[in-house]
Amino acid sequence: MENDSIVEKLQEELAQAKDQAAVNLAGWQRAKADYSNLVKDQDKKYRELAEWSNAMLMAEVLPIYNHFKLALKHAPEAGKQESWLIGIEMIRKQFQDFLSKYKIAEIATLREKFDPNLHEAMAHEVCEGFAPDTVFEEVQPGYLLDGKVLLPAKVKVAK
């Protein structure tokens, strides 16, 4: 009988050890999942911070690009074939390629339907040849960063 009580006691201890092992395993699995989620959240935050930093830098660079393009528009027609002006045009192209590399695209404006998500209306005027709520003049270009508005285009809209 003494052996039976020892066996029962050992079986009871084994059952308790199995229960404790199951509790420990479940706790470890939760901790592992929590840690995995923490790593994913941190990675997401770092990516968002990098994207935000890039967006802020590009928002500072884009006005320079706009002025550069504006200056090129005012180049005299007679001088368009001069080597220095051709070089300046190549620099503009490099600048444009740089922006494309970082997923920055200019917002389409002229003859587009006014979209308050993309455009900022600077004026509403009667304009022949344009349907109502159509952009007839771009005051300042706007830009998208990876499909999201970085700077809205400033436009004039037909009434």
Assess whether 3 and 75 both reside in one domain.
yes
- pLDDT at position 2 is 79
Predicted confidence (pLDDT) at residue 18 exceeds the cutoff of 80:
yes
Predicted confidence (pLDDT) at residue 80 exceeds the cutoff of 80:
no
The number of C-alpha atoms within 13 Å of 113 and in the hemisphere containing its C-beta is 0
**Position 159, amino acid:** K
Q: How confident is the model at residue 1 (pLDDT cuts 50, 70, 90)?
A: low
**Tens digit of each residue's pLDDT (9 = 90 or more) over 66-77:** 998 988 888 888
Burial letters 100-115, b for 16+ CB under 10 A, else e: eeeebebbbbeebebb
Assess whether 76 and 50 both reside in one domain.
yes
**Tens digit of each residue's pLDDT (9 = 90 or more) over 99-157:** 999 899 999 999 999 999 999 999 999 988 899 999 999 999 999 998 999 999 999 99
Assign residue 61 the CATH number of its domain.
Answer: 3.90.20
57 is written with which tokens? 């830098």
Cα–Cα–Cα angle for 151, 107, 52, rounded to 5 degrees: 35
Assess whether 84 and 130 both reside in one domain.
no
* Domain span at 116: 105-159
The label of the residue with tokens 């220095």 reads 84
Torsion 139-144-145-149 (CA) sign:
positive
Predicted confidence (pLDDT) at residue 79 exceeds the cutoff of 80:
no
Assess whether 62 and 16 both reside in one domain.
yes
Bridging pattern class, strands 153-158 and 119-125: parallel
Assess whether 35 and 96 both reside in one domain.
yes
Assess whether 80 and 98 both reside in one domain.
yes
Q: How confident is the model at residue 83 (pLDDT cuts 50, 70, 90)?
A: confident
Assign residue 137 the CATH number of its domain.
Answer: 2.30.22.10
Mean pLDDT of 48-61: 90
What's the total number of domains in the chain? 2
Share of the chain above pLDDT 70, in %: 99
